[in-house]
Structure 1
Amino acid sequence: MPADSVVGIPADLSLAMVEEKEAELAKRRQEIRRMQGNVASPLGPEPNFPPQFLCIKPLVYHNIKEQVPVPSQRFMYTLAFMYFALIAIIIYNISIALLSFVFGGSGMHFGLSFVYLVGIPGAFVVWYYNVYSSVVNEANSRRWLGYVGLALGVIFDIWMAVGVSGLGGCGWIMALGEKNFLVFILAIISASLWTAHCLMLLLLGIKYFRMASSAKPEAGAPADTAP
C-alpha cells in the first residue's frame, strides 16, 4: 500500500490544487468581510476610543489585539505609542512656551503654541486611524490615505523641530535664540523630542510601505474593501 494512502493524502495531490484551494478560501474570506461591512449589526462592538472624558465620547472601536492580524500587531502597538508620545510632546511644547513667556519671552509664541493642540485629534484622523483601518480591513483607499497621513505627520514634526521663533513651536531655532538658561535647556529637550519623533515616524512610514508592498493581493479579492 502506498505511503500516501496510509496517512490519508491523495496520491494525485499537487501544488496547483493546494494553491487553487487557498485562492478559493481567500475569496470566501473577502466575501464575508464585504457582507459584514455592508450589513450594520446592532450586536457589533461599541465604540471605545477616545476614552470618555467630559463632553468627549468614544467614536470608534479600537482594539489592536482583537482586530489587527498577529504579524502586524507589533507595528501597530509601536504606532500607537508614537501617537500618545505626540500628545505628550505637544503638551510639553506648550509648557516650554509658557515658561519662556514668564521669563520675558514672546506672548504671541505662547498663544500660538495652543494652536498645535489640534494636532492631537488631527494626528489620529490623518495618519493613525487610516493606517489602523488599512491594516484591519486591507483597503487600498485607506492604505493610500495612510501614506499621505504619515507624510503629513513627518512634515508636522519637521516644522515643530525647526521651531521658528514666535510661531509656537519650541524647536531648534527657538532654543538657540533663548537667553534664559533654564528655558534654553528645556527647549533643547523639546527640539530633541520633536526630532526623535520625526525620525521614528519616518522609519515607521517606510516599514508600513514595505509591509503593504510585500503583501500580495489574494486571488479573487476585490480591489477595495473599505467600509
Structure 2
Amino acid sequence: MDGIQEFNPFSAGGLDQHNDTTIPISDRSSQPAVLQPSQEPTPKASASAAQVELLRQQEELERKAAELERKEQELHSRGVSMGPENNWPPLPRFFPIKPCFYQDFDEEIPVEHQRVCKMMYYLWMYHCVTLFLNILACLAHFTVDAGHGVDFGLAILWFILFSPAAFICWYRPVYKAFKSDSSFNFFFFFFMFSFQVVVYIIQSVGIPSWGNSGWIYAISVIGTNLAVAVFMMVVAGFFTVSAVLSVILLKMVHGKYRNTGASFQKAQQEFSSGVISNKTFQSAAANAASTAAQSAFQRN
C-alpha cells in the first residue's frame, strides 16, 4: 500500500506525462458534420415538370391546328382545292373549262384491280367512238334518203347524252369502287351497267327510226344504197362488239367484287353515313328543324 502512489491527473507530473499524447486542433477535420442535400429531383417534382411539358406541347399542337384550319379556310374561300388537282379530261391550260375529275390508275387503284379498271375505261372510249360512227352512218343514209332525218337527229342526241352519262353513271362508280373498296359504288355500277348492256343489245339490233345503225336498219338499206348499207353494217358490228364486251366485263367486275368482301349491308351503311355526313343534308335538316320549331312556337 505504501509503494503505490495515488495518481492525480491534475498534478504537474500528470500533465507532463500526457503532453506528448495531446492531439493538435489543426489535425482534426475541418469539415462540418452537416448532411449535404441530395441533387436528384423528387418524384413529385418530376411529375410536375412532365405535366408542364405536356401542357406546352398540347398548346403548341392546338396552335398549329388552328393555323392549319385558318389556311384551309382561306384556300377554300379562294376556290383552291386541298386535294390533288383534277387531270381529266386532259385539257390545255389556256382552255377556259378546267378538268372535272382526278384519275390515276397507278396511284389510286390497287394493282390487282388495275387491269379490269383500265378495260372498263377502254370500253367507255370504245363506246364513244361507236356513237360517233353511228352519227356518220345515219348521216350517210340521210344524204341518200332525206326521209330518215329523224335517225340522224337521234344519233346526234345519243352521242351528246350517252357519252358523258356512261362516264358518270357506270365508269366513275366502278373506278371509285375499286379505289376505296366501296360496296355502294359496286351496287350502283351493277344497277346502271345492266341497263347499259340492254341498250347495247337494242343498238346492235337497230330498230328503224330509233337513231341506231344496227343490223335490221342496215339490212333495210341494202336495196337503196349498197355502200351506205355496208358502212351501217360495220357500225352494227361495233354495237355488237360493245354488247359482248360489256357482258364479259360485267362478269369480271362481279368476280372482283366477290373477292373484296363487299356486301349489301355495307352498301347500306356507306349510303347512310354518306347522307348523314353530307353538308347539304345537314343544312337541310337544320333548316327543317328550325322551321318546325318556329311553327310550334307560333302555334303556342
In structure 1, the partner of 2:18 is none
Question: Does the 8 Å CA contact 2:181/2:260 hold for their aligned counterparts?
Answer: no
Please report how far the alpha carbon of residue 42 of structure 1 lies from its aligned counterpart in structure 2 after TM superposition: 4.3
In the alignment, structure 1 residue 49 sits paired with structure 2 residue 58: no
2:230 paired residue among 185, 196, 199:
185
Contiguous gaps of at least 5 residues in structure 2: 1-75, 275-300
1:205 paired residue among 250, 271, 279:
250
Larger CA deviation: 178-187 vs 92-101: 178-187
Judging changes above 3 Å, is the alpha-carbon distance between structure 1 residues 159 and 215 closer, same or farther for their aligned structure 2 residues? same
Describe how 1:69-84 pairs up with structure 2 within 5 A: 69-84=110-125
Judging changes above 3 Å, is the alpha-carbon distance between structure 1 residues 67 and 116 closer, same or farther for their aligned structure 2 residues? same
Distance 2:81 2:237 in 1: 47
In structure 1, the partner of 2:239 is 194
Distance 1:129 1:214 in 2: 20
Distance 1:56 1:172 in 2: 39
Judging changes above 3 Å, is the alpha-carbon distance between structure 1 residues 55 and 205 closer, same or farther for their aligned structure 2 residues? farther
Question: Does the 8 Å CA contact 1:72/1:135 hold for their aligned counterparts?
Answer: yes
TM-score (normalised: structure 1): 0.75
In structure 1, the partner of 2:156 is 114
Length, aligned pairs only: 185
Distance 2:142 2:129 in 1: 20
* RCO higher in structure (CA 8 A, sep ≥6): 1
In the alignment, structure 1 residue 98 sits paired with structure 2 residue 144: no
- Tell me the secondary structure at the aligned position of residue 270 of structure 2: coil
Judging changes above 3 Å, is the alpha-carbon distance between structure 1 residues 55 and 88 closer, same or farther for their aligned structure 2 residues? farther
In structure 2, the partner of 1:132 is 175
In structure 2, the partner of 1:22 is none
- Tell me the secondary structure at the aligned position of residue 148 of structure 1: helix
Could you list the per-position Cα deviations for residues 149-185 of structure 1 after superposition, in whole angstroms to 9, with x for gaps in the alignment? 2112111211211111112100011101002101111
Please report how far the alpha carbon of residue 214 of structure 1 lies from its aligned counterpart in structure 2 after TM superposition: 2.0
Distance 1:95 1:55 in 2: 29
Please report how far the alpha carbon of residue 111 of structure 1 lies from its aligned counterpart in structure 2 after TM superposition: 1.1
Question: Does the 8 Å CA contact 2:207/2:214 hold for their aligned counterparts?
Answer: yes
Please report how far the alpha carbon of residue 140 of structure 1 lies from its aligned counterpart in structure 2 after TM superposition: 1.1
Please report how far the alpha carbon of residue 56 of structure 1 lies from its aligned counterpart in structure 2 after TM superposition: 4.2
Please report how far the alpha carbon of residue 215 of structure 1 lies from its aligned counterpart in structure 2 after TM superposition: 2.1
In structure 1, the partner of 2:208 is 165
> Which protein is bigger by CA-based radius of gyration?
2
Please report how far the alpha carbon of residue 107 of structure 1 lies from its aligned counterpart in structure 2 after TM superposition: 1.0
Question: Does the 8 Å CA contact 2:130/2:239 hold for their aligned counterparts?
Answer: yes
In the alignment, structure 1 residue 224 sits paired with structure 2 residue 266: no
Contiguous gaps of at least 5 residues in structure 1: 1-39
* Fraction of identical pairs, as percent: 24
Distance 1:126 1:43 in 2: 26
Distance 1:111 1:44 in 2: 41
In the alignment, structure 1 residue 152 sits paired with structure 2 residue 195: yes
Q: Which amino acid is the alignment partner of residue 108 of structure 1?
A: V
- Tell me the secondary structure at the aligned position of residue 85 of structure 1: helix
Distance 2:185 2:261 in 1: 16
Q: Which amino acid is the alignment partner of residue 52 of structure 1?
A: L
Distance 1:148 1:180 in 2: 40
